[in-house]
Copies of this chain bind each other. A is one copy, B any other.
Amino acid sequence: MKEFQVIELIKEALGESAEADWIRRGIGDDAAVVAWSPGMDIVSSIDSFLPDRHFPADAPADLVGYRAIMASFSDLAAMGARPKYGLISLSIDKTNGSGIDWILDFARGCACAANKIGVALCGGNMSNGPLSISVSVHGEVKTNRACLRAGGRPGDFIYVSGPLGSAAACVRLNDLVPADSHNLSPPQEAFYRPSARFDMSKYLESASSAIDISDGLVQDLNHILHGSRCGASLESKLIPLGDSAELEDGLFGGDDYELIFTSSEDLGSINKIGQLTEELGIRIDGEAITPRGFDHFLNQPEP
């Protein structure tokens, strides 16, 4: 069973509890959008990070923290929201002596990312157990102005906020464990120090749809296409590739946390990679391709 099928079943099981008239967008987008005060909505999301699933178990703790904060807040960036605060739940096996050092390095990495995007980390929780990190993130957006996955229209241009594939190249090149966390190769930098692209918010104001690339350009674009009920035509030569990245990394590799967004406007300086189409499916250089990328339910590259 695929992730989206499981999510549909979960929504069904949650029933009425998943809905309320003050929830503008619930399960099924990058983040939930909740009507709160006059003129403003809250945008909220939760993510988890597990060793040897989302990061190597022996990765430096400060990098694990940095990445967890940026990857989590990236969901708010994709909504065009202004980020405000995050809460962290950390489960860690503290019976060994290095536990406290790991925790503090992790916290310093979290703080570094939080300072960079101007958010507060004002609460959390700690348990003794297998290493696991959950981060809930919260921001605000003007009423009904959150940029959703649905909303793209045929003819809209497709943009990406920056070079892709470098984090995937880091995985492919088996280069995931740096000698020290202050001296990263460019692919390691892409993997561990992604940027939540809040600097794109001015473009998202007029965008018709948006998502962040956590699972791969093609897979995440496909979420926009499902939501917007249209297809896409891309030009491979327009897809910006990061350091060490090959086209495959850029198309199918996740973890870059750049944004994809669509707009009817011509945004000169942003990487335009194609257009939305009436015809369903994704074509690259005119050839239909099958979406594949990371599926969280299968937890593996999906064929």
Contact = CB atoms under 8 A, between A and B. Distances in A.
Nearest to A108: B13
A24 to B, nearest CB: 9
A88 B297 contact: no
A5 to B, nearest CB: 9
Interface in A255-303: 296-299
A241 interface: no
Nearest to A24: B122
Contacts of A238: none
Contact of A297 (B15, B128, B299): B128
Nearest to A38: B37
Contacts of A14: 107-108, 110-111, 114, 121
Interface string A80-116: 0000110111010010000010011001101100110
Contact of A123 (B6, B26, B84): B26
Interface in A18-53: 18-20, 23, 26-27, 31-32, 34, 36-38, 40, 42, 44-48, 50, 53
A45 B18 CA distance: 19
A180 interface: no
Contact of A17 (B18, B37, B111): B111
11 contacts: A15-B111, A17-B115, A26-B122, A34-B85, A37-B40, A42-B42, A48-B125, A48-B132, A89-B136, A126-B297, A132-B132
Contacts of A23: 85, 120, 122
Interface of A: 1, 3, 6-7, 9-10, 13-20, 23, 26-27, 31-32, 34, 36-38, 40, 42, 44-48, 50, 53-54, 84-85, 87-89, 91, 94, 100, 103-104, 107-108, 110-111, 114-115, 119-130, 132, 134, 136, 138, 296-299
Main secondary structure of the interface of A (DSSP, over half): mixed
Contacts of A111: 13-18
Contacts of A126: 3, 6-7, 296-297
B132 A129 contact: yes
B44 A107 contact: no
Given A37-B37, A100-B9, A122-B34, A48 B91 contact: yes
